[in-house]
Amino acid sequence: MRRSADRILTTHVGALPAPEDVWGEAGAGEARLREAVAEVVRQQRAVGVDLVNEGEYTKGGNWLTFVNARLGGYAPRETGGGARLLTQSEDWKEFSDYYERALAKGTLFEDTGAAPRQERPIDFVCTGPVTYRPEPLQRELKVFAEALGEVPRSDAFLTSTAPSSIETSRPNDFYGSEEEYVFALAEALGQEYEAIARAGFNVQVDDAWLPALWDRIGVGMGLKAYKAYCMVRVEALNHALRNVPEDQVRYHLCWGSWHGPHAHDIPLADIVDVMLSVKAQTYLFEAANVRHEHEVAIWERVKLPEGKILAPGVVTHSTTLIEHPELVSTRIQRFARLVGRENVIASTDCGLGLRCHPQVAWAKLKALRQGADLASQALWGKKAA
């Protein structure tokens, strides 16, 4: 991963607005997909994003369901598990009327009204040894490589999902323990991480469920027990990443990022040591929304380990307001002055994808670049190149 050596670099978390015919598990045909991916790479470069991806178009735009075509050992079964995870959260209990209305309107996870609707979501249960099918990834690598053109692969990233987040959405009915199951997932997903890195791209591992489970199972466990639960999952992830160079790994931690109150999110201060235990060079996390922006102060007392990079969100999907570049610059400078300017890359809180209207999403990325340029001028004393 390139560092901000003479200016603040910019990136984002993964999902970008896509044409409707590219969304969903069915996805687009080969020619249409190649066309759409080439265009989204061009758009990122046009608004000044330094470290780009394919918008998650090659995954149908979903950070979880893309594994349906990649993992074996599962059988479809109606469990209602996803719905239970939502409704048993402390946030849901306190703000139940809000959540019911947001679900009914279809706005809890998106802002566009364009997401493919699935009236009866399919659950998958682990009924045999977890296996990995590489063919979908090979297609993804090929399409993305072709779309990059002159952009070096070292300035590009592909997203995948952490074993812990897959574990949450796919119950185990085969392995003898939770630990055995999550390590089996790690063995399978490790093949994906290694293939992405071998192809020359950076690997981004998304782990929304690790912190988001706090107000579902963690509160009752207590912080000490919950952190022990998390560390087993980090050990599994590190096992999966054992053959991937650390400087090619980005780890994205967030609190689920749905459009809700988030009043019961676990504080970053309580899990920052868990995050830093992941074998990654770069850590991406929410830092621009009103629930987590104050947590920049953590870095006054937490020392960033040598060689690591922070890519905090400095624009957010959680509001349709476009951040003023001066605000973006201020947010960047706070981090830079605490951990070092060369150790900061400006990013987004979470994927913009369906979370924002396309016009809003691209305007936020433009503001990201403008704010990074202002911060670069303040931090280096010269205009950004």
> Which stretches of the chain score pLDDT less than 70?
24-28, 61, 79-84, 113-122, 382-385
- Model confidence over 152-167: pLDDT tens digits? 999 999 999 999 999 9
Phi, psi angles (nearest 5°) of residue 126: -75, 120
Tell me the β-bridge partners of 9.
345
| Per-residue confidence (pLDDT) for residue 86, from 0 to 100 | 72
Q: How many Å apart are CA 7 and CA 385, to the nearest integer?
A: 8
Q: What is the pLDDT of residue 104?
A: 87
Domains in the chain, ordered, with CATH? 9-380 (3.20.20.210)
Cα–Cα distances in angstroms (integers) from residue 181 to residues 82, 187, 258, in the given order: 19, 10, 27
Model pLDDT, residue 114: 64
CB 365 within 8 A of CB 304: no
Q: Select from 174, 252, 172 the least CA-distant residue to 208.
A: 252
pLDDT at 80: 60
pLDDT at 82: 59
pTM of the model: 0.95
Predicted pLDDT of residue 176? 98
Q: What's the per-residue H, E or C state across the chain?
A: CCCCCCCCEECCCCCCCCCHHHCCCCCCCHHHHHHHHHHHHHHHHHCCCCCECCCCHHHCCCCCHHHHHCEEEEEECCCCHHHHHHHCCHHHHHCHHHHHHHHHHCCCCCCCCCCCCCCCCCCEEEEEEEEECCHHHHHHHHHHHHHHCCCCHHHEEEEEECHHHHHHHCCECCCCCHHHHHHHHHHHHHHHHHHHHHCCCEEEEEECHHHHCHHHHHHHHCHHHHHHHHHHHHHHHHHHCCCCCHHHEEEEECCCCCCCCCCCCCCHHHHHHHHHCCCCCEEEECCCCCCCHHHHHHHHCCCCCCCCEEEEEEECCCCCCCCCHHHHHHHHHHHHHHHCHHHEEEEECCCCHHHCCHHHHHHHHHHHHHHHHHHHHHHHCCCCC
C-alpha–C-alpha distance, residues 207 and 284, integer Å? 10
The two tokens of residue 380 are: 């280096």
Distance from the Cα of residue 315 to its chain's centroid: 14
- What is the CB-side half-sphere exposure of residue 317 using CA atoms within 13 A? 33
The pLDDT tens digits for 60-75 are 767 888 899 999 999 9
CB atoms within 10 A of CB 180: 11
